[in-house]
Structure 1
Amino acid sequence: MWEEKLKIYDELVNKCPRFERKGKSMIYTSANGYMFSLLNKAGEIGIRFSKEVQEEYIKAFSSSTYKSYGAVMKGYVLIPDHMLEDLDNVANYLNESYDYVMTLNPK
């Protein structure tokens, strides 16, 4: 199952030419010194937003906060499996997340 999710994650990131997937065991995207998406060991995809947008999207997606290695990831929204049927749509959220981290002070 994890391998299948990795393929989906790679396909998703490939739809976003401004950044690329990083990591070998921990799979993620980052820009401006911040991670903004993650594939955890449970095969769940999380995308980072501002606190306000996170709360809005948790409701809109009927989702929850995102956990990786037992820790709640600040600003991240768990992307429900049903949304992965439309990767073009999810790519819009991933691009929005990239735009968000680019507004933060560089690390």
Structure 2
Amino acid sequence: MTDHSTDDTAAPSDPTDEDTSGTTLALDDHDHMVILLRDVQARLDLYGKMRKDVQNYLKDVLGDAEVGTLAGRPAVTWKSTLRIAVSQKLLKQRYPAIARECEDITSVHTFKLLDS
């Protein structure tokens, strides 16, 4: 099977907002796969919300504790960590020439599942 890696499968709010220009291929013989993809996306959205809700519940239960146990064994952790990141906004404001020098423009394919 060919790898068709993409960076986006989110459904847009309105398919008329999408740029649908470009070469076109009828997928009528593959409609079952588009239907399956819509079903999978809906389930992922639901499970993502459920995951977030359950995590938030457990975080509330943990309070100030960092480790939650089941039968005396660690099951979850909720710890603070530090993350170091470069602020692109600040970099562009203070050092615009360097920011432009460090830009890396690449072409990517973006896959979007349009509403029916």
- When normalised by structure 2's length, the TM-score is 0.20
Larger Rg: 2
Q: Which structure has greater strand proportion?
A: 1
More relative contact order, 1 or 2 (CA 8 Å, 6+ apart): 2
